[in-house]
Structure 1
Amino acid sequence: MTEFKLGRASSDSHYRLKFFETTGSTNAEGLAAARAGDPGRCWFVTAQQTAGRGRRGRPWAMPVGNLAASLLVVVPNHPATAATLGFVAGLSLDEALRSVAPDLAFRIGLDGVEGTGAAGRRDRLRLKWPNDVLLDGGKLAGILLEAEPLPDDRLAVVIGIGVNVVAAPEGLPYPATALADLGVGIDAARLFEALSDAWSSVSRVWNEGRGFKSVRKLWLDRAAGLGETVAVRVGEQVFSGVFETIDEEGRLVIRSPEGLIRTIAAGEVHFGTVATSRQ
């Protein structure tokens, strides 16, 4: 059995770990613990997740060997601030991946030059709004936040993180990839250990939302599609425009061809000008 453990920095910051050989959903485990009075700062990790879910209630397949982990935190009941924890999670996973597999950071251009131009180094890891991590343009990981109010004006937030370590789901309407597909020989336990330490560091910067300005800047530095045309599906509507930035609450800001600025709190981003109904 693969042993999952917290990183040293995470343990020193008084995080805890609950491991399950098999469970339906690590997010569900975290929410159940919150209802039972768990004070938070607890990771829930499983070797096999049988009923994972993604955004909009979609099922999230997780073969054995992939990483399924959820973190329960208890914060003041300010939903807009709590929602920015998704950016903390994305940055933490990005940092963890770069630490355990440094070769993932950049692809060297055909001319071998490590420059910043078109023929130079290209950052392979990018963060996609709101909560995905891309590797070479394919979805490597998804992040799902769920929250429930608690007594005394507190909010239980569970941040679920699923990473395609050994295999990526098939039949998706978008590209997906796994670490193993690209010859990266790390396992879920090693990645989780690095993730737990990275979270400890990035969450201190976030500082219950007071440091989101710094988190926002770091996230934008690694954002996929920034300055490019995107299509955003919001319910049955699709809005196209240039991805300008994210605002101080983490909302997507796009500029339409007519120059109209639109701020979007929730939606699905697709690169290019078309988002089909299947997407």
Structure 2
Amino acid sequence: MGARMIQTDPEVDPSGVRVINSLLGDRVCGSAVYRYSTESTNSDALVELTQDAVARDHLPRLYIADRQTAGRGRQGNTWVSRDDALTFSLTVACDLLAADRRGLLSLAAGLATARAIEFLLAPVKAYLKWPNDVYLAGGKVAGVLIETNQAMADRVVIGIGVNINEQPKIDTPGAVSPQSLFSATGRKASRFELLDSIVRELVAMVEAIQDSPAEVLAEFRSRCLLTGKVIAFRDRGVGNEGTVEGIAEDGSLLVQTAGGLRRCDSGEVRLIRFR
């Protein structure tokens, strides 16, 4: 199965091919594309979505690259990664998710990444800055970008980037300065062991959103860095400030402002700072 369902470039790391074939053989993923270099794995996935090029039985479909030259983050942040960072995307079917639970996908992706990091680097503790940035020792080590295509609304692309041994250059002025797993813990992590762990956690988490969303929310809330913090944010271009009261059942952020309690969606709000 693995040999038939994986597309690779000749320069890619054989260790990565072995891990991907394991994911395919265990039916965690249905297919995979492993490139030595690409602009953005999310862009690669979205192109195939636009072309309706992936059969349902090939999902979840994994896209990974050793080097990403024009990666994208939330709010338009851009960054470049070399082969000592982990950058990948996973296209999953979401048509079986109830509409009011799709907002939990963003939180679940961050949670899956946090769990995987803890599994490999125990006893570290990972926290989450809503909706899905992963923090260790006070610094951001991973982020998530979720995208879809209106023509294929029953599928979603989940892009994940983890700074393993490098601290990538962020080209966006004012963006949060990231750190790496190594700088946060002093320990080396295997890129492909981390890939294996995150993908398995992520696929299980997508199922958990449907079966036991309360458990997903409870764990996210226990790790949320923003609860009780004063934040400044922009909502549809308008500046505001308030105290975070928590996470709503649909995954939105509850913020007490001078004008009352606001329910903020991750796609509509840009966090400026928190204290």
State if a TM-score over 0.5 links the two structures. yes
Larger mean CA deviation between 137-146 and 263-272 belongs to: 263-272
Assess if the C-alpha contact under 8 Å between 1:128 and 1:224 holds in 2. yes
Please identify which structure carries the higher helix content: 2
Larger mean CA deviation between 240-249 and 227-236 belongs to: 227-236
C-alpha separation between the residues in 1 aligned to 2:98 and 2:81?
A: 31
C-alpha separation between the residues in 2 aligned to 1:46 and 1:228?
A: 37
2:207 to 193, 200, 204: 204
Question: Over residues 159-218 of structure 1, what are the superposed CA-to-partner deviations in whole Å (9 max), with x where a residue is unaligned?
Answer: 0001111222346632421012231211221211111121233222112xx533321111
Assess if the C-alpha contact under 8 Å between 1:6 and 1:197 holds in 2. no
1:26 to 29, 32, 41: 41
Task: Indicate yes or no: 2:172 matched with 1:158.
Answer: no
Partner of 2:68: 49
In the TM superposition, structure 1's runs of 4+ consecutive aligned residues that sit over 6 Å from their partners are none
| SS, match of residue 215 in structure 2 | helix
| SS, match of residue 166 in structure 1 | coil
Task: Report the alpha carbon displacement of residue 220 of structure 1 after superposing the two structures with TM.
Answer: 0.5
Task: Report the alpha carbon displacement of residue 60 of structure 1 after superposing the two structures with TM.
Answer: 2.2
Equivalent positions of 1:230-249 (< 5 A) are: 230-249=231-250
What is the alpha-carbon root mean square deviation over aligned residues?
Answer: 2.4
Q: 1:7 to 1:217 in 2, by over 3 A?
A: farther
Question: Over residues 125-149 of structure 1, what are the superposed CA-to-partner deviations in whole Å (9 max), with x where a residue is unaligned?
Answer: 2111112111112111110011013
Runs of 5+ unmatched residues, structure 2: 1-12
Larger mean CA deviation between 86-95 and 1-10 belongs to: 1-10
Task: Report the alpha carbon displacement of residue 64 of structure 1 after superposing the two structures with TM.
Answer: 2.5
Q: 1:159 to 1:233 in 2, by over 3 A?
A: same
1:68 to 81, 87, 94: 87
Task: Report the alpha carbon displacement of residue 2 of structure 1 after superposing the two structures with TM.
Answer: 5.5
Q: 1:202 to 1:11 in 2, by over 3 A?
A: farther
Partner of 1:17: 32
Q: 1:45 to 1:145 in 2, by over 3 A?
A: same
Q: 1:92 to 1:7 in 2, by over 3 A?
A: farther
Which structure has more relative contact order (CA 8 Å, sep 6+)? It is 1
C-alpha separation between the residues in 2 aligned to 1:26 and 1:99?
A: 25
Q: 1:61 to 1:169 in 2, by over 3 A?
A: same
Q: TM-score, normalised by structure 2?
A: 0.81
2:53 to 11, 21, 36: 36
Partner of 1:109: none
Q: TM-score, normalised by structure 1?
A: 0.80
C-alpha separation between the residues in 1 aligned to 2:25 and 2:129?
A: 29
Partner of 2:219: 218
C-alpha separation between the residues in 1 aligned to 2:236 and 2:250?
A: 21
Task: Report the alpha carbon displacement of residue 81 of structure 1 after superposing the two structures with TM.
Answer: 3.7
Q: Give the count of matched residue pairs.
A: 248
Runs of 5+ unmatched residues, structure 1: 106-124, 273-279
Task: Report the alpha carbon displacement of residue 43 of structure 1 after superposing the two structures with TM.
Answer: 1.2
Partner of 2:135: 134
